[in-house]
């Protein structure tokens, strides 16, 4: 209204008509503004109600999200504890498996060493057995020679009974030696099957027994002879 320039009126009636028209114009504008305000207020109330509902939903959603977040945090902590426990158990299990592997390797090495010792002991026993067999064969050969010599000289001896006793004694000694050798061979077989032993010591004992037997006089002592047979004529 201040911005509008008031015209110059030629008569009071014209001025009255002007102001009346202007008042109607402002009244109409006011009515339109009031209607717009009412519409705006109604829209504002609806918008406020909608925003309030959205706020309630957002707050509920926020509470739900916070609850979910807390639950997920608890689950994460639980999973962390489980993972840590599983890691500790796995580490212990790996340590135990490594210890078992070390022990198994040590036992394997001991078994290999034991097998080598058994093989060596078996070889030593075989050599001792062959040496004993050779010694026994040599003793039997000498015994047979002595028996043949005694049989050849039997007719020339005065004391045949003493000769027979001496020959029988040699036979008994040979039988005893064979039995002792069989017993020793069985003992060696048992020893070889059970555990590695010292075959060298057994071999020395056996050789000593054989040598002691071989050192017996090859000819019997008769009444008419002095520790030897006479040369065959």
Per-residue pLDDT of 130-179, as tens digits, reads 888 988 888 888 888 888 887 777 666 666 677 778 889 899 999 999 99
Task: Give the pLDDT mean for 216-227.
Answer: 46
CA atoms in the 13 A half-sphere facing the CB of 89: 6
**Range name among 45-54, 68-77, 162-171 with the lowest pLDDT average:** 162-171
Contacts from 140-145 at CB under 8 Å and sequence distance 24+? Answer: 140/174, 142/214, 142/218, 143/170, 143/174, 143/218, 145/218
DSSP string, 117-133: HHHHHHHHHHHHHHHHH
125 Cβ contact list (under 8 Å, min separation 6): 188, 191, 192, 199, 202
- 150/223 Cα distance (integer angstroms): 14
Angle value at C-alpha 129, between 123 and 133, nearest 5 degrees: 150
Q: What is the SS3 assignment for 210? A: helix
Angle value at C-alpha 226, between 225 and 230, nearest 5 degrees: 55
Task: Indicate if the pLDDT at residue 233 is higher than 70.
Answer: no
Task: Indicate if the pLDDT at residue 11 is higher than 70.
Answer: yes
Task: Give the pLDDT mean for 87-116.
Answer: 92
C-beta of residue 199 within 8 angstroms of C-beta of residue 131: no
pLDDT at position 4 is 60
- Write the CA distances from 40 to 26, 35, 36, 55, 164, integer angstroms: 20, 8, 6, 21, 156
pLDDT at position 140 is 86
pLDDT at position 193 is 77
Question: Between 199 and 208, where is the model more confident?
Answer: 208
Per-residue pLDDT of 115-130, as tens digits, reads 999 999 988 988 898 8
Torsion on CA atoms 28, 32, 34, 37, rounded to nearest 10: -160
CA atoms in the 13 A half-sphere facing the CB of 126: 6
The pTM score is 0.33
Average pLDDT of the chain is: 81
pLDDT at position 209 is 52
Torsion on CA atoms 96, 101, 102, 106, rounded to nearest 10: 140
């Amino acid at each position: 209204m201040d911005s509008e320039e008031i015209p110059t009126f030629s008569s009071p009636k014209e001025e009255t008509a002007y102001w009346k028209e202007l008042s109607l114009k402002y009244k109409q504008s006011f009515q339109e503004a009031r209607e717009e305000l009412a519409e705006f207020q109604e829209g504002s109330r609806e918008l406020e109600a909608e925003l309030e509902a959205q706020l309630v939903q957002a707050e509920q959603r926020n509470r739900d999200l916070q609850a979910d977040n807390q639950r997920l945090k608890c689950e994460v902590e639980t999973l962390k504890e489980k993972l840590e426990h599983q890691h500790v158990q796995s580490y212990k299990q790996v340590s135990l498996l490594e210890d078992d592997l070390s022990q198994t390797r040590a036992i394997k090495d001991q078994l290999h060493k034991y097998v080598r010792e058994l093989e060596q002991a078996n070889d030593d026993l075989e050599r001792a057995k062959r040496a004993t067999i050779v010694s026994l064969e040599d003793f039997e050969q000498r015994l047979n020679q002595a028996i043949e010599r005694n049989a050849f000289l039997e007719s020339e001896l005065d004391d045949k009974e003493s000769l027979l006793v001496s020959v029988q004694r040699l036979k008994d000694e040979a039988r005893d030696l064979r039995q002792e050798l069989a017993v020793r061979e069985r003992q060696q077989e048992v020893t070889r099957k059970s555990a590695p032993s010292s075959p060298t010591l057994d071999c020395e004992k056996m050789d000593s027994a054989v040598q002691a037997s071989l050192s017996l006089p090859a000819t019997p002592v008769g009444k008419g002879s002095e520790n030897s047979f006479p040369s065959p004529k």
